[in-house]
Structure 1
Amino acid sequence: MKNAEQVTFGGGNIDRAAQLRDDPQALAEQWQTAQVLVMWRGKPLCQLAAAGDVPGALAWLPATHPVVKGQETEAVFLGRCAKDVGRFAIDISTWEPEAQDTDSVGGFVDLSEQRHPELPQDSGFAELRRIMAHLNRAEAEFAATARAIFGWHETHRFCARCGEKSNMAQAGWQRICPSCGGAHFPRTDPVVIMLITHGESVLVGRSPGWPEGMYSLLAGFVEPGETLEAAVRREVEEETGVKVGAVSYLSSQPWPFPMSLMFGCAGEALGRDIKIDPNEIEDALWVSRQDMMTVFAGDHPTIRQPRKGAIAHFLLQNWLADTLD
C-alpha cells in the first residue's frame, strides 16, 4: 500500500535517538534545551482552541517551567524531529483538579478539558482520541508514544519475576528490578483489523455499547504462535461465521489505547452468510461500495461515518478511492 504511513500516528519521521537512552550525560544535555510534553491520565497538554473547536496542537513546555523543572529523572525521552531539540514527556497523573470538568466525562468520547493552575492559561489536557486527527504527524506520533509508554509504566510497576517494585531506566524505555535484576521492556499487543470484502461489498460490525449507528471493521488480538493471516481468518469466522480466503497486509497503526499495534489487512470472503457470535459482537452486515460512499458523505440513514483518525476510517477511505495498492 503506497500511502500506508499516512495513517494517523504514522509518518511522523521522528528520530527516537535510542542510542542516547543509556547515556546520562547526553540526556542531561538534551534536557537543558528540551521541549517537554506534560501528560495527565493519558491526556496530552494541548493548546486549547475556541469554545466548541477541537485542539489542533500540543503545548510544549521548556525544561525550566516550574511544573517541569526537576522532573528529568522521571521523564521519558521521546526523541527529536530531525535536528530539533530533544523532546521529553512527564506524567502528573497524581494532580487532582479542584474544579473537575465532569459534564463531558464518560460516554464513548471524553470531551472534557482540564486546566492546571500553574500551566499556561491557553492550555489544557484533552483526550488523544478526540484530537488525534487534528495534530500534525510528528506531534501525533509523540503524543501516542507518550501515552503508550506511561500506560505501560502504570501497569508494570512490579517485577514479573519476583514481584519487587521495579525502577524506571533507559530514559523511560526499560524497568529494572533492584531485587533480582530482571529487565523489563515496553510491550506492544498485536491486533489485526480486517477489510473483508466480497465483490463490491465490505463487512462491518459493531460492539455492544457503541453509539447508535456506529459500525467499524472487525478486529481482534493475535494469539501466541499465530500468523497475521491466521488471526484474520479466525477472528472473522469467530465473530461472524464468514470464512475468509486470501489475506494480504495493507498498513499498520500504533494504537496507544492502551498499547496496541493495529495490523490492517485485506481479506477475501468466501461467502456472505453471517451468523454472529453475540458474545463477540452485537451485529454485522455487508455494506455496498455505493452505500459506504453515502456513509462517508454523512447521508446514510442508519450508519454513521467511522471515526476520523482510526485505521478503520483510513482503510475504508482508501478502499472507496481504489488506492489500496
Structure 2
Amino acid sequence: MSFRLKDVPLLSRSTLDRADHVRLDPDALREGWGKAKVLRVDPRGKVRVDNDQIVLDNAAVVGDGPGDAAVFLGVVEGSHLWAVREPELDGTLKDLRVLGSVDDFTAELLSTAYALLNWHDRARFHGGDGSTTTPARGGWSRLNAAGEEEFPRIDPAVICLVHDGADRVLLARQQHWPETMFSLLAGFVEAGESLERCVEREVREEVGVDLRDIHYLGSQPWPFPRSLMLGFAAIGDPAQEFVFSDGEIAEAHWFTRDEVRAALQAGDWTATQPGARLLVPGSISIARTIIESWAD
C-alpha cells in the first residue's frame, strides 16, 4: 500500500514574496526601511504575541536603518519585512511550536526568521580561514575580508513512516520523551549518502528493522536550528525483532490504524489523556502530516 501527503506540510506553504532582487540592492533596502515591519526574536526563538498573533513592530522601534543584526525576509503589500535578534523581550512571548493557530504566512515568516538568525549566530567566522565575517545581501550571506561569500547552512534530515503494507504503523519514543509521546523515525543525512540509504540506515540503527519500497513524500523546513526534513514512507516486517542499537530509542511499537486515528482525534503531544497509550506530534511537524495521510 502506498499513499501521498493529503496536504502540503504547514511550514512548506510558501506565501511570502522573498524578493531576491531587493537583497542585491543596498539602496532599496535602506529606502524600504522607513515603512518596514520588524519581527523581534529573543535567543530562545520566542516572539511577542497578542491574542496568539505575532507582533510586527515599525522599523523605527529598532533603529534608523537595517543594521548588521537585521535580516531581510521579503515584501508584503509593498512593505519590507525584517527580523532581528533581541537579547530580551517584554510582554507575552511564544515560539512557533506553541502558538495556537498558525496561518501559512506566520509559519513561513517565523521559520525563515529562525533559520537565518540561527545561522548568523553561528557563522560569525569564516569556515575557511577563521576570519571575521560580515552580513551581506540583506542577511542572506556573509563575507570575509577577502570577499569570499558563505550562505546559510541547511542540515538535511530524513523522517520516515514505516508501515506493514496493511493496517499497522511503526512509531517510536525517544529516551527523553514522556511515556505517551511517539513519532516517526528520523535522522541526519551523512556525507556521501543518498536519502534512500539514509532512511535504511537510520531505521536499522534505531530499531533494527529492514525496509523495502522506500518512496519520497515531501519536505518541510525545520529551523530548530536549521534542518530540512525530507519525508519518506517504507514497508517493514512486524515480525522482525526490534534492536535499539544506537541508544536513541526507548521503545517502539506497531500501532493499528484505529489506534492512530484515536490519537489524532485526541490532539497532540500537549493533550491530557488519562490512560492514553499514544499521543502524536502537533500540526507544525511534517510527522503529523505524514501520519494523518497514512491514517486516512
Q: TM-score, normalised by structure 1?
A: 0.82
In the TM superposition, 1:90-129 aligns within 5 A as: 90-93=84-87, 95=88, 115=90, 123-129=91-97
Aligned-pair distance for 1:4? 4.4
Secondary structure at the aligned position of 1:72 is classed as coil
How many angstroms apart in 2 are the aligned matches of 1:289 and 1:152?
39
Give 1:22's match in structure 2, choosing from 13, 21, 24: 24
In the TM superposition, 1:33-72 aligns within 5 A as: 33-49=35-51, 55=52, 57-65=53-61, 68-72=62-66
Q: Describe the superposition over 1:53-76 as per-residue Cα deviations: whole angstroms up to 9, x where unpaired.
A: xx2x210111122xx123512211
Structure 1 residue 76 corresponds to structure 2 residue 51: no
How many angstroms apart in 2 are the aligned matches of 1:3 and 1:28?
42
**Paired residues, what number?**
283
Give 2:178's match in structure 1, choosing from 182, 206, 211: 211
How many angstroms apart in 2 are the aligned matches of 1:222 and 1:270?
24
- CA RMSD in angstroms comes to 1.8
How many angstroms apart in 2 are the aligned matches of 1:193 and 1:272?
22
How many angstroms apart in 2 are the aligned matches of 1:187 and 1:70?
29
Corresponding residue for residue 101 of structure 1? none
Aligned-pair distance for 1:144? 0.8
Corresponding residue for residue 302 of structure 1? 277
Structure 1 contact 254–262 (Cα < 8 Å) conserved: yes
Corresponding residue for residue 163 of structure 2? 197
Structure 1 contact 196–202 (Cα < 8 Å) conserved: yes
Structure 1 contact 195–316 (Cα < 8 Å) conserved: yes
Give 1:235's match in structure 2, choosing from 199, 202, 218: 202
Corresponding residue for residue 175 of structure 1? 142
Structure 1 contact 214–305 (Cα < 8 Å) conserved: yes
Corresponding residue for residue 290 of structure 1? 258
Identify unmatched segments of 5+ residues in structure 1: 50-54, 96-113, 116-122
Structure 1 residue 88 corresponds to structure 2 residue 82: yes
Q: Describe the superposition over 1:143-180 as per-residue Cα deviations: whole angstroms up to 9, x where unpaired.
A: 111111111111111111111111111110111111x4
Alignment-mate amino acid for residue 50 of structure 2: L
Secondary structure at the aligned position of 1:9 is classed as helix
Aligned-pair distance for 1:246? 1.0
Structure 2 contact 5–289 (Cα < 8 Å) conserved: no
Give 1:280's match in structure 2, choosing from 248, 252, 255: 248
Corresponding residue for residue 315 of structure 1? 290
Secondary structure at the aligned position of 1:90 is classed as strand
Corresponding residue for residue 141 of structure 1? 108
Q: Describe the superposition over 1:112-167 as per-residue Cα deviations: whole angstroms up to 9, x where unpaired.
A: xx52xxxxxxx533122111x62211111011111111111111111111111111
How many angstroms apart in 1 are the aligned matches of 2:65 and 2:27?
16
* Greater mean alpha carbon deviation, residues 287-296 or residues 252-261: 287-296
Structure 1 contact 201–288 (Cα < 8 Å) conserved: yes
Secondary structure at the aligned position of 1:86 is classed as strand
Alignment-mate amino acid for residue 74 of structure 2: G
Secondary structure at the aligned position of 1:130 is classed as coil
How many angstroms apart in 1 are the aligned matches of 2:294 and 2:130?
48
> Cα 1:187–1:284, aligned 2, differ >3 Å: closer, same or farther?
same
Secondary structure at the aligned position of 1:69 is classed as coil
Structure 2 contact 6–293 (Cα < 8 Å) conserved: no
Structure 2 contact 30–65 (Cα < 8 Å) conserved: no
Secondary structure at the aligned position of 2:127 is classed as coil
Alignment-mate amino acid for residue 275 of structure 1: V
Identify unmatched segments of 5+ residues in structure 2: 267-272
Structure 2 contact 5–217 (Cα < 8 Å) conserved: no
Q: Tell me the percent identity.
A: 34
Corresponding residue for residue 249 of structure 1? 216
